[in-house]
Amino acid sequence: MKAHWRYLTVYLLLGLAALFVHTHANNAVPVARPLTEIPTTFGDWRMVRQTEFTPGVLAVLRPTDYLSREYVNAQGRSLSMYIGYHDGGPNSGPIHSPKHCLPGGGWTVVEEKTRPLEIAGQRFDVVQSVYAKGGNQEFFIYWYQVKGKVLTNEYALKLAEISNSMLHRRKDSAFIRISIPDADRINEPAKVAEDFIARVFPHIAATLPM
Domain ranges of the chain: 29-207
Handedness of CA 198, 199, 201, 202 (dihedral sign): positive
| C-beta separation of 169 from 159 below 8 A | no
Q: How many whole angstroms separate alpha carbon 204 and alpha carbon 200?
A: 6
Fold of 29-207: Protein Transport Mog1p; Chain A (3.40.1000)
H-type alpha helices, 87-146: 98-104
Cα–Cα distance measured from residue 107 to residue 201, given in angstroms and rounded to the nearest whole number: 27
Q: Would you write out the chain's pLDDT as a tens digit for each of its 210 residues?
A: 455 556 565 455 444 344 444 445 788 999 999 999 999 998 899 999 999 999 999 999 999 999 999 999 999 999 999 999 999 998 899 998 888 888 888 899 999 999 999 987 889 999 999 999 988 899 999 999 999 999 999 999 999 998 888 888 899 999 999 999 988 777 899 999 999 999 999 999 999 998
Type of residue at 111: E
The DSSP letter of residue 154 is H
Question: What is the value of pTM for the model shown?
Answer: 0.87
